[in-house]
Amino acid sequence: MRYSYQRELIKDIVRSSKTHPNAEWVFCEAKKKVENISLGTVYRNLKILENTGKIKSIHDDNQVRYDGNIEDHHHLKCVKCGALIDTDIQSNFDRKKIMDDYDFEPNEVKFFILGKCKKHTK
């Protein structure tokens, strides 16, 4: 993999963000440093960074969002403002029961907890 200033920039933007941004937001941030960077470059590098384990992606309804926190973790999602909040909540499921009851070999759980974040408590 050849060095690319754009790719390093995109990685740093995602890694230092806490909002789980989408490609468009990353693009706008990147333009502050490379004024003529193209959106295609952002998408291509986000995918490369994901495939090489440098960042993670989250499918949030009809959009892809990116996460600079590559630790295994889950999220709270605010239904009011769309915020995604990192948690250390563990998912515990009964592997054997799933295999027995459904003839299915599980190996990962994805979940979000939907609700309201503190911004909306009156």
Query: Binding residues for Mn ion, per CB under 5 A?
Result: 67, 69, 86
Q: Is 116 in the site for its own copies (CB under 8 A)?
A: yes
Please name which of 107, 116, 43 lies closest in space to residue 78, comparing C-alpha atoms. Answer: 116
Residue 81 binds DNA (CB under 7 A): no
CB of 3 to DNA, least distance (A): 3
The least distance separating DNA from the CB of residue 103, rounded to whole angstroms, comes to 29
User: Is residue 2 part of the contact set for DNA (CB under 7 A)?
Assistant: yes
Rank residues 50 and 86 by Cβ distance to DNA and give the closer one. 50
User: Half-sphere exposure (CA, 13 Å, Cβ side) for 37?
Assistant: 25
Give the number of C-alpha atoms closer than 13 A to the C-alpha of residue 111, restricted to the C-beta side: 10
CA dist 101 to 94, 95, 97, 105, Å? Answer: 11, 10, 6, 11
Residues 29 to 88 in contact with its own copies, rule: CB under 8 A:
59, 61-62, 64, 76, 78, 85, 87
CA–CA separation, 23 vs 26, rounded Å? 5
Give residues in contact with DNA (CB under 7 A): 1-7, 22-24, 34, 36-41, 43-45, 47, 62-64
